[in-house]
Structure 1
Amino acid sequence: MNILLACNAGMSTSLLVQKMRQEAEAQGLDATIEAKPLNKALESVADFDILMLGPQISYAKAEAEQFADGKPVLVIPMSDYGRMNAKGIIAEAVAALEA
């Protein structure tokens, strides 16, 4: 499972990626998780299974879906993002990929 997080290039997303990697490892998931600024994420979304947008760029969901070529594009809920709820965010990604 390859997860790409898109953000405004903030430090909080880098911290979230670290927590998500730790959570994926704890769950025994084979996951690659990266974060990129939105413009770079749109350029490389083809290399990932799912694109997750930080809540601060939720306005870009429609544009991101055009680049995603049918892959899931989710906006991370503000509550999960703010609490760095890696477990919940990974569960949401897994559910979207299994749908």
Structure 2
Amino acid sequence: MKNIMLVCVAGMSTSLLVSKMQKSANEQNLEAEIFAIAESEVDKTLANKNVDVMLLGPQVRYLKGTYQSKYKEKNIPIEVINMMDYGMMNGANVLKQALELIG
């Protein structure tokens, strides 16, 4: 089971992307929990849940360095979602990016 967390301003704009990523995961018979949260919920979520990768929406890309420092001990790969894939809501490509980061 892969736990993939997407972070955006309010947790809303990524909901469609989550659906498309989940569809792609299902097509690949990949067990994954993919969810989106608001950046204001990151601390609370990571205190209660283990995640394998954190993907940031392009609109919160400025938080990457902060999160990398803050959660360094958790060893969570943190990356910004490719702007083109985000804009096109390309769930397959974003899932591929997440899986590559997980390794």
TM-score, scaled to structure 2: 0.87
Q: Unpaired runs of 5+ in structure 1?
A: none
* CA distance in 2: counterparts of 1:10 and 1:31, whole angstroms: 18
- Secondary structure, counterpart of 2:14 in structure 1: helix
Matches within 5 A, 1:9-88: 9=10, 11-45=12-46, 46-65=49-68, 66-67=70-71, 69-88=74-93
Give every structure 1 segment of 4 or more consecutive aligned residues whose post-TM-superposition deviation is greater than 3 Å: none
- Secondary structure, counterpart of 1:2 in structure 2: strand
CA RMSD for the aligned pairs? Answer: 1.4
TM-score, scaled to structure 1: 0.91
Which structure has greater helix proportion?
Answer: 1
Which AA in structure 1 matches 2:52? D
Q: Deviations over 1:34-84 (max 9, x none)?
A: 100012123323521110000000000011112252210010011010001
* CA distance in 1: counterparts of 2:75 and 2:28, whole angstroms: 27
Aligned residues between the structures: 98
